[in-house]
Amino acid sequence: MTVSSARLIPLGQDRPEFYAEAVEAYLRSAGIGASSVRIYRISLTTWAWLACGQQPPLGKDRRGATAPATRFAALADPAIVDVLATAFIQRAHLVDADTVNRELSIMKAAIGWWRTRGWLADNPVAGIERRPAPPDRTKALSRDQLAALFDLKAGIREKTLWKMLYETCGRAQEILTLDVADLLLSDKRGRIVSKGGATDWVHWQSGTAQLLPRLLKGRTRGPVFLTGRKAPARTPTTNVCKVTGRGRLSYRRAAELFEALTRPLANPGIHDAAELELRGGWTLHQLRHSALTHEAEDGTNTPTLLARSRHASVRSLERYARPGLDAVADHVASRDQAARRRR
């Protein structure tokens, strides 16, 4: 339906009573990919709290939390503009810029669809601006740190995910959306929906190839990475394994587990649990960063690095392709003329 034809629909006709119903209508009809629906729903549900001038629960408290039963008509109230703007600024102080910017972009897309339907006359978030993202200061892990990571006592699901993220140079969100049907086990590759919505392939090595059969245990369909418990009744069928009844592992949960399990490795010498929690652990993104850094150190050429990372430009790749501390030290030592003479 075009914007011009939407003007023929009287404002408010067939408009849902509650905001949550409008969200589901948008998710069903706006042509959103199945792998993105869950992220869209979480992002849009966040605005149900913001519309009430509240903040959604953070971290583990968010799981299972019931959002306010916001009426959709509240978005048409002129007063909502200030309420949303104030709540958004507050949220931007609680979570990272990438999260709030994603939530804002998704909300703007949904509002555009609702306006096309004639459900809204104005855009209540039109004056809200994206938050400036801080520079990426992610540090690549050393090869010794990675060896310690892969030696950790962790479940087969975690070990497979971590190994796959490193060997594929993949983004965690992409790898977690893999279904068993997307895997070509004999070819050591899998079909993903890449950033921007394009279908692409990731390739792995023997470490992942050895772990995947143990993880799948003969499953031939459903999500590759599953939660440890049965999926709630409201979970979309595409995110549920029909064999086990368990749901797809979320990025949030995978990141929480990785951060918690790597705290001792990220803070060697600190053994107090409370102190470790304050300092935190590593991030899943560091596995992708580390893989690209190590490939650059090993001499992988730029075209291949671009293909592995699926970056659109060399400029985007630059921050990953910098040699790490140990590689620079080895480089300097190898050119130490005095040391060579002593040998």
pLDDT for position 307: 86
Phi and psi, residue 57, nearest 5°: -60, 155
Confidence of residue 339 (pLDDT cuts 50, 70, 90): low
Q: Read off the tokens for 112.
A: 């555009």
pLDDT tens, residue by residue, 99-118: 899 899 999 999 999 999 99
Q: Which residue has the higher pLDDT, 309 or 50?
A: 50
pLDDT for position 227: 94
pLDDT for position 3: 40
pLDDT tens, residue by residue, 195-233: 767 788 999 999 999 999 999 999 999 999 999 999 988
Mean pLDDT of 63-92: 93
Quick one: which of 184, 191, 4, 32 has its CA closest to 105? 32
Q: Where are the domains of the chain?
A: 9-117, 143-330
Mean pLDDT of 233-243: 90
- Percent of the chain predicted with pLDDT > 70: 86
Mean pLDDT of the chain: 86
Mean pLDDT of 272-278: 74
- Percent of the chain predicted with pLDDT > 90: 59
Whether 166 has a pLDDT exceeding 80, the answer reads yes
In whole angstroms, give the CA distance from residue 244 to residue 272: 38
pLDDT for position 315: 74
pLDDT tens, residue by residue, 246-260: 999 999 899 989 998
In whole angstroms, give the CA distance from residue 176 to residue 193: 11
Q: Which residue has the higher pLDDT, 96 or 55?
A: 55
Mean pLDDT of 267-274: 82
What architecture (CATH level 2) is domain 143-330? Orthogonal Bundle (1.10)
pLDDT tens, residue by residue, 23-48: 999 999 887 767 678 888 999 999 99
Whether 5 has a pLDDT exceeding 50, the answer reads no
Phi and psi, residue 305, nearest 5°: -60, -40
Our CA angle for 219, 222, 228, nearest 5°, is 85
Q: Which residue has the higher pLDDT, 322 or 243?
A: 243
pLDDT for position 7: 41
Cα-based distances in Å from 194 to 83, 100, 312: 35, 21, 12
Whether 1 has a pLDDT exceeding 60, the answer reads no
Cα-based distances in Å from 34 to 20, 111, 178, 273, 284: 19, 20, 12, 40, 23
pLDDT tens, residue by residue, 283-334: 999 999 999 999 988 888 888 888 888 877 777 777 676 666 666 666 576 6
Element (H, E) at 305: helix 302-309
pLDDT for position 128: 93
Whether 2 has a pLDDT exceeding 50, the answer reads no
pLDDT for position 4: 40
pLDDT for position 328: 62
